[in-house]
Amino acid sequence: MTRFREVNFDGLIGPSHNYAGLSHGNLAATLHAGETAYPRQAALQGLGKMRLMLSLGLGQGFFLPHERPNIGWLRALGFSGTDDAVCAQAWAEEPSLLAQAISASPMWAANAATVSPAPDTADGRVHFTPANLSTMAHRSHEWPGTLAQLRRIFADERHFAVHEPVPARFGDEGAANFMRLASPVGERGIEIMVYGEPGGPFPARQSAQASRAIFRSHGVSDALIVQQSPEAIAAGAFHNDVVAVAHENILFAHEQAFADKDALYAAIEARCPDLVVVEVPASEVPLRDAIASYLFNSQLVTLPDGSRALILPIECAETATVKAWIDANVGANGPIHAAHFVDVRESMHNGGGPACLRLRVLLSEEAERAIHPAHLLNDRAADRLEALITAHWPERMAPSDIGLPESWEAMRQARAALIAALEQPL
């Protein structure tokens, strides 16, 4: 029997990490706008989470930060001259465009693409569609960089199919709005996309049209398209993964995550009879606390011994209602046996928790062997990444640093050093 395992690909946090307040509806990013960011510390925190996954015996890969500043994007907006002249003109005339061109947002790999594992697709390959991220300007220019990396990492067409993004008219934010239930994981699963209806105070970023388009092109027939609850979006859940996460036969969700939860649970149960819904009631954890702590933006994983663990942001241990819920509900009697807290505060302040930083890819052993090895992490590779980050990532990035030529140069040099290291296998 073919064995499958999940490999998490994290976005390596880039040297341009900063707090520019670019995401309307993302309360953490708005709250921390204008603060000084610490790119080196941010990247080390992200790497620390990846090391924890390795130490738990889980598969771990990584994506590279994209080229920043994105000069091509700025040129398309009419700025001209040398690369530095392009940036300087943008900074002088429309500083918000330079901030958008510099954003380290590709770190949130959950938004990189939607992935349909091989057991679910008509041709038995793993299908990827990079997200167009068209709702937010600073994220709308990520997809070409993402597409290039997906093509490099998952190049073997016997196992993988990498699509073009859905047309930008139809907003798509990738796996952040995707859930899959299957038991065991290697069996055909039920895939779910959660969309938002526009009309609330904040943008609904995932459209039903894009969700349907992805399932069509991936050849997934057992699919559900469900609506996110408008109150969750209004409370700051700009992606479904801020209020729900699914793994194997477990759906871990806030009571107010979905517009019609009963219909959703019944539809899943019809296909996945051993479904376990771990629902957190608003009376125990108000939506506000769930969103502030990012309880549901945790990684729900199965360890090699078969037990299940949650990888949670440290903020969950610091939020009284959330901590009380975890203490009462996570433990040996299951279904979730252990909780591990990670410090990814630099990313959290931009609204990106542990689950935002990773893209899950379920792989057969054969498919895993076909992946570009330079993007798979082991302890030695992690040590080398750590050395590169320590040597090249800026320590601080204040809002005014965005406009400095030294900052642009530091970003370029850091990425060049990383790419040079990748040429020799890490």
Amino acid at 286: P
Q: Is 21 in the site for ligand SUG (CB under 6 A)?
A: yes
Our CB check for ligand SUG shows the closer of 321 and 350 to be: 350
Answer for which of 41, 105, 134, 293 binds ligand SUG (CB under 6 A) is: 105
Q: Residue 370 — φ and ψ, nearest 5°?
A: -85, -5
DSSP state of 248: T
C-alpha distances out from residue 46 to 284, 314, 391, Å? 30, 13, 16
Helix (H, G, I), strand (E, B) or coil at 152: helix
**Residue number with CB closer to ligand SUG (130 or 352):** 352
Which lies closer to ligand SUG via its Cβ, residue 64 or residue 242? 242
The two tokens of residue 205 are: 């970023």
Binding mask 231-250 for ligand SUG (x = CB under 6 A): -------xx-xx--------
Strands (E), 34-144: 59-63, 113-116, 126-130
Stretch that binds ligand SUG, among 147-155, 164-172, 248-256, 347-355 (CB under 6 A): 347-355
Distance (Å, whole) CA 228 – CA 192:
11
Q: Is 239 one of the annotated active-site residues of the chain?
A: yes
Cβ proximity to ligand SUG, 136 vs 213, nearer residue: 136
Phi, psi of 119 (to 5 degrees): -65, -15
What length does the chain have? 426
Q: Binding mask 120-139 vs ligand SUG (x if CB under 6 A, - otherwise)?
A: ----------------x--x
Q: Is residue 313 part of the contact set for ligand SUG (CB under 6 A)?
A: no
Site for ligand SUG in 149-178 (CB under 6 A): 176
Pairing of strands 178-181, 190-195: antiparallel
Site for ligand SUG in 28-67 (CB under 6 A): 29
- Choosing from 12, 20, 88, 370, the residue that interacts with ligand SUG (CB under 6 A) is 20
Q: How far apart are CA 200 and CA 182, in angstroms?
A: 33
Q: Is 218 in the site for ligand SUG (CB under 6 A)?
A: no
Measured CA to CA, the distance from residue 126 to residue 364 in angstroms comes to 10
Instruction: Provide the minimum distance between the beta carbon of 133 and ligand SUG in the complex, in angstroms, as a whole number.
Output: 7
Say whether residue 356 binds ligand SUG (CB under 6 A).
yes
Q: What are phi and psi of 328, to 5 degrees?
A: -85, -25
Interface residue with ligand SUG, options 145, 165, 171, 351 (CB under 6 A): 351
Q: How far is the CB of 14 from ligand SUG (least distance, A)?
A: 12
Q: Which of 60, 116, 146, 350 binds ligand SUG (CB under 6 A)?
A: 350
Q: How far is the CB of 105 from ligand SUG (least distance, A)?
A: 4
CB atoms within 10 A of CB 6: 18
Residue (46 or 119) nearer to ligand SUG, CB: 46
Instruction: Match 């530095």 to its residue by tokens.
Output: 84
**CA torsion, ordered 35, 41, 43, 49, to nearest 10 deg:** -110
Cis peptide before 184 (omega within 30 of 0): yes
Residue 225, exposed/middle/buried by CB under 10 A (0-12, 13-18, 19+)?
A: middle
Q: Taking CB under 6 A as the rule, does residue 185 contact ligand SUG?
A: no
Residue closer to ligand SUG, measured from CB, 24 or 369 = 24
Residues contributing to the site for ligand SUG (CB under 6 A): 19-23, 26, 29, 103, 105, 108, 110-111, 136, 139, 176, 238-239, 241-242, 350-352, 356
Q: Which residues does the annotation mark as catalytic?
A: 173, 239, 356
